[in-house]
């Protein structure tokens, strides 16, 4: 007798959901926050009074744009600005405008996982700063980085803003920085935005806003699973919870089950059981200081050669180069 076996391939998202919700303790990755709805909620987050990160980095760019531009183009040499996770480019446009103003020779290569985001960025740049030579690239950081060939060895400035690195645990951050380091020539720079340790209350408030926008952002993960995997998470039966540990500088987000409940995920043919007050860990947002940043750099074959901070010293942009 012949038997036909239908093998249905699971996407990475599906695999990760299965793994994360059958593990103990349960977890889901924050990289899945960003579907179209998640992108829109993150835009709202950046405008919240409690979420100081974006405003601080914007202030640094506004105030230090001259020095930053001079550093990128030392001696007037042409450079390629590669931005990992470009988003709407609001902060980067401050720099691009300054480069144009100083008549620098450069290319801008935004890399983002979302086609939608890249198209929006390219279109707005064409309207606002048409002088910029934009070469967008769609993909994950790693895919895109691997493909970054050494086009005629033009000096590369790799930008990673918004404390996006904070979503990685230290050992993952080091692996990531090592990957970047391997692609860097002696002359290249890594320009990286890091949120700093500060009053723990200020940090907690940034991830636990009064209006519930961060809660909606966190719960969007469950809502994505509902729509994309035919699941029945009741969002009202989960609570957004944020903790910040000032000793380690780690902010962690959770979704906590308010009661004993079972959730059915049709597409995965999986029933997930929740005990009362059981957690799903969803995000880490690491906060840094000079010592921890220096350590990350050192372990990745990089060294800090310059830095820029805002008036309140809430945020820092570190400039790294490869150690020979
Ligand atoms: C985009 C990763 C920098 O961790 O601060 C905002 C995402 N999460 N509020 C951060 C986020 C909750 C954000 N990053």
- Please tell me the distance between residue 18's alpha carbon and the centre of ligand 1 in angstroms: 24
Q: Quick check: CB of 285 below 6 Å from ligand 1?
A: yes
Write down the pLDDT at residue 139.
86
Q: Is the Cβ–Cβ distance between 301 and 181 less than 8 Å? A: yes
Q: Is the pLDDT of residue 5 over 70?
A: no
Q: What does the pLDDT look like over 281-312, one tens digit per residue? A: 999 999 999 999 999 999 999 999 999 999 99
Write down the pLDDT at residue 146.
75
Percent share of the chain, pLDDT over 90: 86
Q: Is the pLDDT of residue 3 over 70?
A: no
Phi/psi at 254 (5° precision): -135, 160
200 vs 202: CA distance, rounded Å = 5
- The contacts found for 71-75 with CB under 8 angstroms, 24 or more apart, are 71/189, 71/306, 71/319, 72/99, 72/104, 72/106, 72/157, 72/189, 73/99, 73/102, 73/104, 73/105, 73/106
Q: What does the pLDDT look like over 111-168, one tens digit per residue? A: 998 888 899 999 999 999 999 999 999 888 877 777 776 566 789 999 999 999 999 9
Write down the pLDDT at residue 101.
97
Helices assigned H by DSSP within 113-212: 115-128, 141-147, 170-182, 200-206
267 vs 10: CA distance, rounded Å = 10
Write down the pLDDT at residue 87.
81
Question: Cis peptide leading into 25, omega within 30 of 0?
Answer: yes
Helix (H) or strand (E) holding 252: strand 250-257
Q: What does the pLDDT look like over 74-95, one tens digit per residue? A: 989 999 999 998 888 999 999 9
Pocket test for ligand 1, best of 54, 55, 167 (most atoms within 8 A of CB): 167
Pocket test for ligand 1, best of 34, 39, 42, 44 (most atoms within 8 A of CB): 42
Tokens linked to 311:
């008036």
| Distance (Å) of CA 221 to CA 28, 214, 230, 233 | 8, 12, 13, 10
**Out of 2-6, 33-37, 53-57, 123-127, least confident range:** 2-6
- Please tell me the distance between residue 61's alpha carbon and the centre of ligand 1 in angstroms: 19
Percent share of the chain, pLDDT over 70: 97
Helix (H, G, I), strand (E, B) or coil at 144: helix
Q: Is the pLDDT of residue 104 over 80?
A: yes
Helix (H, G, I), strand (E, B) or coil at 89: coil
Helix (H, G, I), strand (E, B) or coil at 300: coil
- Over the range 14-24, which residues count as b (16 or more CB within 10 Å of their CB) and which as e? bebbbebbeee
Strand partners, 316: 194, 309
């Amino acid at each position: 007798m012949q038997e036909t076996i239908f093998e249905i391939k699971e996407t990475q998202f599906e695999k990760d959901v299965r793994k994360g919700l059958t593990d103990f303790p349960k977890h889901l990755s924050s990289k899945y926050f960003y579907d179209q709805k998640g992108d829109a909620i993150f835009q709202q987050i950046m405008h919240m009074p409690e979420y100081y990160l974006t405003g601080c980095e914007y202030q640094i760019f506004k105030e230090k744009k001259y020095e930053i531009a001079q550093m990128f183009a030392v001696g007037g040499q042409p450079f390629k600005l590669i931005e990992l996770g470009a988003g709407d480019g609001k902060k980067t446009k401050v720099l691009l405008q300054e480069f144009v103003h100083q008549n620098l020779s450069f290319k801008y290569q935004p890399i983002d996982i979302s086609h939608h985001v890249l198209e929006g960025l390219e279109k707005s740049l064409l309207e606002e700063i048409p002088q910029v030579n934009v070469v967008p690239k769609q993909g994950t950081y790693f895919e895109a980085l691997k493909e970054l060939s050494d086009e005629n060895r033009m000096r590369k400035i790799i930008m990673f803003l918004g404390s996006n690195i904070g979503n990685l645990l230290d050992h993952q951050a080091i692996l990531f920085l090592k990957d970047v380091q391997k692609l860097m020539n002696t002359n290249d720079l890594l320009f990286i935005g890091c949120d700093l340790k500060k009053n723990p209350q200020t940090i907690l408030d940034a991830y636990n806003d009064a209006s519930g926008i961060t809660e909606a952002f966190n719960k969007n993960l469950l809502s994505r699973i509902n729509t994309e995997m035919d699941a029945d998470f009741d969002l009202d039966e989960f609570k957004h919870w944020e903790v910040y540990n000032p000793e380690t500088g780690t902010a962690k987000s959770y979704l906590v089950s308010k009661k004993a409940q079972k959730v059915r995920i049709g597409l995965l043919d999986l029933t997930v059981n929740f005990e009362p007050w059981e957690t799903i860990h969803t995000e880490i947002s690491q906060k840094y200081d000079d010592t921890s940043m220096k350590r990350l750099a050192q372990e990745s074959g990089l060294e800090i050669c310059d830095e820029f901070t805002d008036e309140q010293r809430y945020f820092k942009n570190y400039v790294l180069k490869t150690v020979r």
